[in-house]
C-alpha cells in the first residue's frame, strides 16, 4: 500500500480532544501551543523488530509498547504528557498491520490524553520510533542527580514480571498470562510521577533492571545505595515459576518493567505513601542512599549479592530461538 494511503489511515484514526494542537497530521509540520510558563519535556525511544520485541509480535502489542516506553520516560521526569510523533519503518506497508498497531498505540494514547500530531512513514526493516512531548513546572521535573545519603529508595509496582515472561519464552516454556501482561502491556506511571514532582529527590524508570537503573541514579547523584533484595516487590508473581537465584536475578536485574525507582528524603516517606494511595499504585521501600558509589544488594542474611549476569538482555543477545511468536 502506498505511503499516502497509510498516512490517511493514521490521520483518520488519530483523533484527540486537545485544543493545544493548532495543526496536527497533514501539513509539513505540526503547530503546538505549550501552556505559558511550563517547561517542555521531550523523550524518544525506538523499538526494533527482533531486538526490542520478538519477530511476529502482535501489531497491537508493538503499538502499545512503543508509546508506553516513551510515556514511562515522561513519568520518570514527573511530566504531564501532551503530544507525540511516530516514525514507522515498515517492510511491506501492510495496512492490516498498521491498523493493529494503531489499536494498541491509540488505546494507550487515549488513556493519557496524548495527541498523535505527526510522524514519518518509510519502507525498511520493521522499526518504530516515538517522540513524546510533555510539560513540567520549572524546577520541579524529577532528575537523576538529586539523590542524597540517607534518602529512602522506593520502587512502584512489581519487578521481574516482564523478564520472567521473556525467560519463559527463551526457554520454550509456556508463558504465564500474568507475566505476559507485564511484558506486553506495561503501564507508564504517569500519575505517580506527577505526584512525586517536588517530593522525590531523584527518579528513573526501570527499563534495564532496578540494580542497573538505580546505579544510574547513584552515578548521577554522586552517592551509593544499599538495596534490600528481600524487599523487592513482585516475588509472589514469579514464585510459581521461578525460585532461588533465578527469581532474585529477575527482580534485581530483569528489564522492561517500566516501574519508577525514586529516592526521597526519609522525612518524606509519608508523602510517598499518600502519593501512592492517591494514584492507586503500590510503592515499596527497597533501600537507602549511602556514602560511596554504586549499588550494593544485600540478602536477608546481610550478605552482598551479585547477579550472574548484569543488566538487560535484548531479544538479539544471545541469538533468539528460531523466530517464533511470543
Interaction site with Mg ion (CB under 5 A): 120
Q: Give whichever of 121 and 201 is closer to ligand ADP, judged by the CB atom.
A: 121
Buried b (16+ CB within 10 A) or exposed e, 281-297: bebbbbbbbbeeeebeb
Select the binding partner of residue 88 from ligand ADP, Mg ion, none (C-beta < 5 to 8 A, by kind): ligand ADP
d(CA 176, CA 161): 10
Which of 104, 119, 146, 254 binds ligand ADP (CB under 6 A)? It is 119
User: Would you say 258 and 208 are in contact if contact means Cβ atoms under 8 Å apart?
Assistant: no
User: Would you say 70 and 45 are in contact if contact means Cβ atoms under 8 Å apart?
Assistant: yes
d(CA 226, CA 202): 16
Does residue 28 touch ligand ADP according to CB under 6 A?
Answer: yes
Cis peptide before 318 (omega within 30 of 0): yes
Sign of CA dihedral 11, 17, 21, 22: positive
Span from 21-29, 150-158, 255-263, 317-325 in contact with ligand ADP (CB under 6 A) = 21-29
Does residue 235 touch ligand ADP according to CB under 6 A?
Answer: no
Q: Interaction with ligand ADP in 260-299: which residues (CB under 6 A)? A: none
Which of 56, 120, 222, 278 binds ligand ADP (CB under 6 A)? It is 120
Select the binding partner of residue 26 from ligand ADP, Mg ion, none (C-beta < 5 to 8 A, by kind): ligand ADP
Residue 173 CB, nearest approach to Mg ion (Å): 43
Helix axes 95-111, 3-13, angle to 10 degrees: 30
Does residue 63 touch ligand ADP according to CB under 6 A?
Answer: no
Does residue 116 touch ligand ADP according to CB under 6 A?
Answer: yes
- The residues pairing with 298 across neighbouring beta strands, listed in sequence order, are 228, 304
Residue 118 CB, nearest approach to Mg ion (Å): 9
Residues at the site binding ligand ADP, with contacts judged by CB under 6 A = 7, 10, 25-28, 86, 88, 116, 118-121
Amino acid at each position: 500500500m502506498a505511503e499516502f494511503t497509510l498516512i490517511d489511515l493514521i490521520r483518520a484514526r488519530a483523533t484527540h480532544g486537545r485544543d493545544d494542537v493548532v495543526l496536527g497530521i497533514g501539513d509539513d509540520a505540526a503547530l503546538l501551543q505549550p501552556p505559558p510558563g511550563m517547561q517542555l519535556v521531550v523523550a524518544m525511544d525506538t523499538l526494533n523488530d527482533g531486538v526490542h520485541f520478538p519477530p511476529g509480535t502482535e501489531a497491537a502489542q508493538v503499538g502499545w509498547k512503543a508509546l508506553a516506553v516513551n510515556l514511562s520516560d515522561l513519568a520518570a521526569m514527573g511530566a504531564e504528557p501532551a503530544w507525540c510523533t511516530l516514525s514507522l519503518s515498515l517492510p511491506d506497508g501492510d495496512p492490516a498491520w498498521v491498523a493493529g498497531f494503531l489499536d494498541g498505540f491509540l488505546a494507550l494514547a487515549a488513556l493519557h490524553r496524548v495527541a498523535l500530531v505527526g510522524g514519518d512513514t518509510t519502507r525498511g526493516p520493521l522499526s518504530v520510533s516515538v517522540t513524546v512531548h510533555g510539560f513540567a513546572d520549572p524546577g520541579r521535573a524529577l532528575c537523576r542527580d538529586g539523590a542524597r545519603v540517607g534518602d529512602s529508595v522506593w520502587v512502584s509496582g512489581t519487578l521481574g514480571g516482564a523478564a520472567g515472561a521473556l525467560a519463559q519464552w527463551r526457554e520454550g516454556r509456556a508463558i504465564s498470562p500474568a507475566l505476559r501482561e507485564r511484558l506486553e502491556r506495561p503501564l507508564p506511571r504517569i500519575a505517580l510521577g506527577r505526584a512525586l514532582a517536588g517530593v522525590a529527590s531523584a527518579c528513573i524508570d526501570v527499563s534495564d533492571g532496578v540494580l542497573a537503573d538505580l546505579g544510574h541514579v547513584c552515578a548521577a547523584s554522586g552517592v551509593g545505595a544499599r538495596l534490600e533484595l528481600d524487599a523487592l516487590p513482585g516475588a509472589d508473581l514469579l514464585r510459581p515459576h521461578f525460585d532461588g537465584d533465578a527469581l532474585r536475578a529477575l527482580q534485581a536485574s530483569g528489564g522492561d518493567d517500566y516501574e519508577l525507582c525514586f529516592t526521597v528524603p526519609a522525612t518524606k516517606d509519608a508523602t510517598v505513601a499518600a502519593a501512592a494511595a492517591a494514584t492507586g499504585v503500590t510503592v515499596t521501600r527497597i533501600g537507602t542512599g549511602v556514602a560511596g558509589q554504586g549499588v550494593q544488594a544485600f540478602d536477608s542474611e546481610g550478605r552482598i549479592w551479585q547477579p550472574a549476569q548484569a543488566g538487560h538482555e535484548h531479544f538479539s543477545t544471545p541469538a533468539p530461538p528460531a523466530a517464533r511468536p511470543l
